[in-house]
Homo-oligomer: A and B are copies of this chain.
Amino acid sequence: MPAVVTIGETMLRLSPPPGTSLEHAAEFSVRAAGTESNVAITLSRLGTSAGWISRLVDSPLGRRVAAEIRAHGVDVSRVLWTADGRVGTYFVEPAVTPRTARVIYDRAYSAFAEIDPDEVDWAFVRTARHLHLTGITPSLSDRCRALAVRAIAEARRAGLTISFDVNYRARLWPPKDARKALEGVLEGIDVIFSTAEDARTLFDAEGQAEEACGLLARRFRPRVAVVTDDGRCVCAQGDRLVTREGYQVTSVDRIGAGDAFAGGFIHGWLSEESIERGLEYGMAAAALKHTYHGDVAWITLEDVRNLISGQPRWR
């Protein structure tokens, strides 16, 4: 049974080649991508066993999503398979300065959005050590919101620690709805991840990452609040505030860097019981993610450790 379980939606990500337009490119590259499965992949690659629960159509596209995640060693045995419905897609034209990324979500009515919380194998969750969720799930449908609430309840009852990444997406719901939904679930979460910008948008945080982090810590009283801001990160554990500067990166594709951070942090925090190690692993995993196209950080624990220690991995 995996040590960490994540629950969420994973879509097909379709992107034109670098420097070409969704309006024009003859081919789109295809990959499975979802914030929760990204975290599970990072964990599995670093050596923390991970499982991912979702709901997929039993079609070539649904099987593809599961296969891409399973390839990294993530346990996908509890995915719910359905004969009907659709696999969500999203189209991304990556940002090139000063052009911002174009993202077209086409995920409404997906098989996951219609999940019934009672279908999930909660015993699989209860035997894990840790549960990871994000703010995207409650935004997708009423059923998904109920799913998140139920997952937290199951995990708590079974004594798991829980992490929650705020991950606000303005294109999925307005701040008002997000705030209301998230206030209901963040209370009592062990590890809260947020960007400084999301903390500003949803919780009226002001100032820098430090202030945002303090606000989250005071407001939701997690064991750890972690706020990232433009490569930097700040972590509050009770009154203690730890900060780390990020690495200089040549960013090939920034999407998924936050998930690599969360995966790296959880790995370090769970395996070495140290928020300092969590931050180090998270920052290194995120920096390495930036260097690859797609959502996946193609890293190993050795890569992360070498980057942290300043040793080149390959001579």
User: A52 CB to closest chain B CB, in angstroms?
Assistant: 14
A30-B30 in contact given A19-B292, A288-B99 (Cβ < 8 Å)? no
Check A96 against B30 for contact (C-beta < 8 Å).
Answer: no
Query: Which residues of B sit under 8 angstroms from A68, Cβ to Cβ?
Result: 71
Interface: A220 (CB within 8 A): no
Check B19 against A252 for contact (C-beta < 8 Å).
Answer: yes
Number of copies: 6
A100-B298 in contact given A23-B63, A91-B61, A108-B86 (Cβ < 8 Å)? no
Query: Which residues of B sit under 8 angstroms from A59, Cβ to Cβ?
Result: 104
- The CA of A219 and the CA of B125, in the complex, are separated in Å by 54
Query: Which residues of B sit under 8 angstroms from A123, Cβ to Cβ?
Result: none
Secondary structure call for the A interface = loop
Query: Which residues of B sit under 8 angstroms from A309, Cβ to Cβ?
Result: none
Check A98 against B298 for contact (C-beta < 8 Å).
Answer: no
Candidates B18, B28, B314; contact of A14 at CB < 8 Å: B28
Query: Which residues of B sit under 8 angstroms from A28, Cβ to Cβ?
Result: 14, 27-28, 30
Check A314 against B100 for contact (C-beta < 8 Å).
Answer: yes
Q: List residues 4-22 of chain A with CB under 8 A from any CB of chain B.
A: 14, 18-22
User: A28 CB to closest chain B CB, in angstroms?
Assistant: 5
Extra inter-chain contacts (20) besides given A70-B70, A99-B288, CB under 8 Å = A14-B14, A19-B291, A21-B298, A25-B26, A27-B28, A27-B29, A60-B104, A60-B298, A67-B71, A70-B71, A86-B106, A87-B106, A89-B89, A96-B291, A98-B247, A98-B288, A98-B291, A99-B307, A102-B313, A170-B315
The 8 closest A-B pairs by CB, nearest first: A96-B291, A21-B298, A22-B60, A26-B26, A71-B71, A67-B71, A19-B252, A19-B293
